[in-house]
Amino acid sequence: MRIVLISGIVFVHIPFSDQTSPFVGTYGAFDWLRVFLAEALFRVGVPCLSAISGYLLFRGGLENFSYLKTVRTKSKTVLLPFLLWNGLFFLAILVALGVGLGDGYVPNPWQASARELMTQLFAVEDFPVNVPLYFLRDLFVCILLSPLLAWLIRHAPLLTLSVLLVVAVVPEASLYVVLKRSILFSFSLGIYIGLNKIDLKALDRFATLGAVLLLASCAALATVIYMTGPSLPDWVQFLRNTLAIFGALGFWLLSAPLIETSIGQRLSKTGSLSFWIFCGHYPLLIFMWIVWGKAGVSFYPAFFLLSLAVLFPFLAFSNNLCRKIAPRLYAVMTGARAKKPYDKPVSAGAAPSKLATQQR
């Protein structure tokens, strides 16, 4: 699920200008497709990843949860990679702006106040310079709050989840603790699933129906957003926020048939590549956007397709290269994410459904 969701998140961050915005409608169906992918379908990525994280943290129950050990571990696997990847991109921005590149494409630290610099570096009040890494920041906050969230889920699950759901879907609500409000609800939902040992395979028989409903809902939402954007009315924002959360269930159901395929099996063995893609895709997209701007080509669909054609192979190549020539650095940059014991080929006599469920 991680590699699929993170690959989808890439579509959310493909840059464009005011002139190439999908809401201008220059390219018709292609613009609608961009809205469908970036504003509807793959908006479920963060809620789904958050729920998975909450589930994995508490699937062993409260009795097996060690707060201090968890914080120490997550400081290495979540907080340190956030600081490293964002710090490196911050330094790259300083160098690029110093030699006259990137002005207007990235925040300018040279002209920022101390307060703005704290946000650019540490995502104190808003997104960091490496925008997608806000998720790691919010995830670490959820981990710090996990004992409180688990206690609330244990003693008042319905009230807790209801309040967090309202906070997540109401437009323009501010929570301050986290930058993306849906993360608290999804993380807590994952805690609920883990503590109550809910059978995650129970709905697999509805995978086809769930996939159809997800795609149909996303198509309808994309049409509404395409017609009303870019400044979305509150009711459209409410619909988008709601679908982003409940669409995570549809995406989970999609993984049931996917993991049984050869492609799904290969994706499940990609290990830390998904984390590498997540941390590295935004700086690379911005670099390609700057180069594209210097080239003076105005046909935006060419950039959209070319950026994807370059991005994924380059990140896969750089991931393998760093792992081979600098394994210690690679371990730090990926938060020591190693392959799990079940990340191995299916033997001839193995039961694929059991293995597939684990890898999913």
Structural domain boundaries of the chain?
2-359
The three-class DSSP label of residue 274 is helix
342, pLDDT greater than 80: no
Q: What is the pLDDT, as a whole number, of residue 173?
A: 66
Least confident of 101-110, 115-124, 222-231, 307-316: 101-110
Q: What is the pLDDT, as a whole number, of residue 203?
A: 87
Kindly state the average pLDDT of the residues 57-69. 92
| Alpha-carbon span 39 to 36, nearest angstrom | 6
Instruction: For the chain, give the percent of residues with pLDDT over 70.
Output: 93
Q: Mean pLDDT over all residues of the chain?
A: 90
Kindly state the average pLDDT of the residues 106-133. 94
Rounded to whole angstroms, what are the CA distances from 265 to 35, 45, 184, 256, 353? Answer: 29, 20, 31, 11, 11
Judge residue 309's burial from the number of C-beta atoms within 10 Å of its C-beta, 0-12 exposed, 13-18 middle, 19 or more buried.
exposed
Kindly state the average pLDDT of the residues 99-106. 89
Model-level pTM? Answer: 0.90
